[in-house]
Structure 1
Amino acid sequence: MLVMFAKLLGITEGLHRYLQGERLDLGRAAQCKTAILETLRDLRTEPGAEDVFKSTMTICEERHIQLPVGPRQKQKRLDGFVVESACGATSNPTTPGDFRGQLYYPCLDRMIQELTHRCSDVGEELMSGIQACNSTTATFLAEDALKSLASHYKIQLKSEELLVAKHFFKRRLEKEKVPDIATVFQIIDSDMFPTLKAVLQVALTIPVSSCSCERSFSALRRLHTWLRSTMGQERLNDLAIMSIAKDFLDAITPDNIIDRFAQLKPRRHILTLPPQQEK
């Protein structure tokens, strides 16, 4: 089961990280979701389950793990109760057919169902509208998708603006690439395309989440421990910034920081190491 979940959850791990990222684009998220659904549906075939079962058996043989055979024993704490279901009476899967029917297909179907209905109804329409704002998609500036997004936020999108914008970006894309919605928003002029500019602004605002704030609170729990209960607010803020912005901190050379600190004002002690004399 661990091998099976490692394979299935490894497919959705990229989408999970992308949805919690700071540079989230729901148009691309919709494309990633569709690609993951197609991948999971392809695993619904017989060869997919066969590969997972073979990899499970290989790992068990390498680690000398003996799979249990026969029905599982009932728990003794249920002796005084009446149980109508067949809990504890199912046998462990020992063949590829049992593995597919009891474990693999139910988990796979549940994941497909959850991903299908995760952004259904209004959310699916909004994601289609945001996807139409992205120049890299096939539905770029699609009128039906953009109007559903605009009507949800009570924006009177004009069809004339879309017609002009399609010809405008058709010429623009021949000369240069427009990678994301933010670039489209910067190119669009507010005087020439006022309603389309408002729709693009909504598309850029919706993905804003609280993941960064939640990560900062998690970092504070690791910094402000019981052994640091007397820490001041200024030092705590500095340590929190260093922990949250760790990627930028790793790119800084420590020697440059020492040299800058040494040049701030005259000091009694020399902070640089003396030159080594040759023997």
Structure 2
Amino acid sequence: MMFEFLSEFDPFIAEHIARYGSAGKGVTSYLSFTTCEQFIQLMADSVTKQIVKEAKAAKYYSISVDSTPDSSHTDQLAFILRYVKEDGLPVERFLRFIPNPGHKSEQLAEVVFTTLKSYDLDIANCRGQSYDNASNMSGHYRGLQARILERNPLAVYIPCSAHSLNLVGKHAAESCPEACSFFGLLQYLYIFFTASTHRWEILQEHLSSVPNTLAVKRLSDTRWSAREDACRSLNRNWTQVIEALTKIKENTTEAPGTCKEAEGLLNKIQRLETALMSGLWSTILDRFGAVSKKLQSIGIDVGIVGELYESLIQFVRETRDIFPTFEAAAMEKSVVKDNESKRKGVQARKGSATSSKTQAEVAQENFRINTFYVICDNLVAELMRRKTAYDSFFGKFKFITDLSKTEPSAISQHANNLCSPYSKDLEQECFVDECLHFRSYLINSSAEDTSVLAMSRMIRERGLQSIYLNRVKNYLRSRMGEERLNSLAVLAIESELTKSLDYDELINSFATQRVRRKPL
């Protein structure tokens, strides 16, 4: 069927099918299913051999693994290699999917060691490992990273930067009741409008009047970009969402329960606190989303990760100081102009510092201190804590990126310190001299030093969930075996290497395997 489809665009295949397609027994056509599978396997093996060859030429490499259930409910572990090519650019290569690896750290460690051994890659040359923050992966004592460190103390563990950023946002979203209520409202809005095609049509009718609108989005526990989309959608279509809910609420033909649901959502959206949360989280998540995309780019290194986290810390600190700006914007959008605590009649205690303040001022201060500041402070604290992991590692290599700006004595000290843990990889005297000579070259030639030690460029994890693991969620996955899955996955993911294959050599290999003439 596949060849028949291709024959519509390829005259050579069309002629071949016309001549041999129904020739009968005894005539070789090479159109059988097994022939196609053999070619796929040969191509995948060639791509894998090229990856292993490059990794061995680079000598040092890092690994990343992550797992997810596929459409047939089989747990699939994606195994990724990362190394630096001769041109100094880091590459990330997919090796294979491994079915049913288990979830215990000892099972995962055995899979890692066995896989590396099967490709003749020495675990002693592994210089980095990067996973998500699950305890079976990142545990300091019994996690996968700890078991690999037992075999190779130089295989330093660096948490996945994108996953860590997701956890930062998750903790902040759960840091106070108002934040939890806001994201619950976003999810409830999506459920309410998508539960009925009639409600969805009403919403779309109101959104169509505004250019570049966004439909309401559902939340996701793992993808914070989904929360960004949901928050941006509400913030941008604030008036249209309220109008749609009002129309449903006032529609006498709607079921009473539906009208009550619409009324409840309307009351929640029209709160001043909701408008404030919408503006704050739209601003924060928009910046977080841009940084998250940058963290998932292939060319990023650990040093840039630290800089991006630092930029977020400064951004959140600046955001913390502009509460009046968010409040003014919320006042313009919200029908209710008072905080809920004022409407409930919250009074300041007599004799306290706030007893002379008006009820509105007390309510405003209560929201600012117990919600706005809590969210911002939680974000800063989590970002700083997770940034420490990247700074502590990159600090060993940072001097190499600033050779022209560093004094010779400091360079010698840093170089000697770096040689201590990597004594088998670096010759101390030669390395120190090379750093000093290179500094002189940079100063004399006015060249911009963009060099980063290979190790800092090897250790980084892109979002495995979105790039590799989503491929096994396809319904076609349940219709093929594990061997075919791995072959097609390698060919598709490493398409650049697939296109560069020597197909004449593949045809010769195929002919050698299929030859039926036996020497006597």
Counterpart pick for 1:57 among 311, 331, 335:
331
In structure 1, distance between residues paired with 2:413 and 2:331: 51
Confirm or deny: 8 A CA contact 1:3 1:52 kept in the other structure: yes
Equivalent in 352, 355, 365 of residue 97 of structure 1: 365
Aligned residue in 2 for 1:107: 375
Contact 1:126 1:148 in 2 (8 A): no
Indicate the residue corresponding to 1:12 in structure 2.
288
Aligned-residue offset at 1:34: 2.3
**C-alpha spacing 1:163/1:44, structure 2 compared with 1 (3 Å):** farther
In structure 2, the CA distance between the partners of 1:202 and 1:237, relative to structure 1 (3 Å rule), is closer
1:2 is aligned, of 260, 271, 278, to 278
TM-fit CA distance, 1:22 = 2.4
d(CA) in 2 for partners of 1:112 and 1:126?
Answer: 20
Q: Deviations over 1:216-261 (max 9, x none)?
A: 121220x235xx7434678756875687579x8xxx9xxxxxxxxx
- After superposition, the Cα gap between the structure-2 partners of 1:204 and 1:34, relative to the gap in structure 1 and judged at 3 Å, is same
- Quick one: which of 202, 221, 236 aligns to 2:455? 202
Aligned equivalent of 2:428: 158
CA-to-aligned-CA distance 1:188-237 (integer Å, 9 cap, x gap) = xxxxxxxxxxxx343333x143644763121220x235xx7434678756
Report the Cα distance in structure 2 between the residues aligned to 1:93 and 1:23, rounded to whole angstroms: 50
Please, which moves more after superposition, 146-155 or 126-135? Answer: 146-155
Aligned AA (1:171): Y
Give the structure 1 partner of residue 230 of structure 2.
none
What is the DSSP-based 3-state SS (H/G/I as helix, E as strand, rest coil) of the residue aligned with 1:129?
Answer: coil
Distance 2:492 2:395 in 1: 37
Distance change >3 Å, CA 230–CA 116, structure 1 → 2: closer
Amino acid across the alignment from 1:99: F
Q: Measure, in 2, the Cα distance between the counterparts of 1:27 and 1:153.
A: 19
* 2:472 equivalent to 1:220: yes
CA distance in 2, matches of 1:133, 1:22: 21
In structure 1, the partner of 2:479 is 230
Corresponding residue for 1:130? Answer: 397
Corresponding residue of 1:116: 384
Which amino acid in structure 2 is aligned with residue 56 of structure 1?
Answer: A
What is the CA–CA distance in structure 1 between the aligned matches of 2:467 and 2:339, rounded to whole Å?
A: 42
- Between stretches 24-33 and 95-104, larger displacement belongs to 95-104
More strand by share: 2
* Displacement of 1:49: 1.5
- 1:24-57 CA distance string (max 9 Å, x none): 2111222222222222223332xx1122222333
AA at the equivalent of 2:330: T
* Structure 1 residues 6-34: Cα deviation after superposition (integer angstroms, max 9, x where no partner): 21233333333333332221112222222
Equivalent position amino acid for 2:279 in 1: V
Q: Distance in 2 between matches of 1:129 and 1:92?
A: 53
Shift of 1:114: 1.0
Moved more, 146-155 or 232-241: 232-241
Residues 1:201 and 1:243: Cα distance change in structure 2 (over 3 Å): closer
Given that residues 21 and 211 in structure 1 are in contact (C-alpha distance below 8 angstroms), is that contact kept between their aligned partners in structure 2?
no
Alpha carbon RMSD of aligned pairs, Å?
4.4
In terms of mean alpha carbon deviation, does 64-73 or 8-17 score higher?
64-73
Q: Which residue of 2 aligns with 1:26?
A: 302
* Partner Cα separation in structure 1 for residue 316 and residue 405 of structure 2: 23
Shift of 1:149: 4.7
Whole-Å separation in 2 of the counterparts to 1:19 and 1:37: 15
Contact 1:129 1:149 in 2 (8 A): yes
Letter in 1 for 2:457: L
Partner SS for 1:132? helix
- Structure 1 residue 41 corresponds to structure 2 residue 317: yes
Q: Distance in 2 between matches of 1:213 and 1:162?
A: 41
Give distance in 1, aligned partners of 2:403 and 2:372.
35
Do the aligned residues in 2 keep the contact of 1:37 with 1:115 (CA within 8 Å)?
yes
| TM-score after normalising by structure 2 | 0.32
Report if the CA contact (8 A) 1:41-1:112 is conserved: yes
**1:179-190 paired onto structure 2 within 5 Å:** 179-181=450-452
Distance 1:161 1:110, change over 3 A: same
Distance 1:113 1:67, change over 3 A: same
Distance 1:109 1:126, change over 3 A: same
Alpha-carbon offset, residue 110 of structure 1: 0.9
| In 2: Cα distance, 1:147 partner to 1:100 partner | 50
Structure 1, unaligned stretches of length 5 or more?
Answer: 74-90, 182-199, 253-279
Question: Residue 396 of structure 2 contacts residue 414 of structure 2 at CA under 8 Å; is this kept in 1?
Answer: yes
Matched residue SS, 2:393: helix
Is the Cα contact below 8 Å between 2:415 and 2:435 reproduced in 1?
A: no
1:131–1:137 Cα contact (<8 Å) kept: no
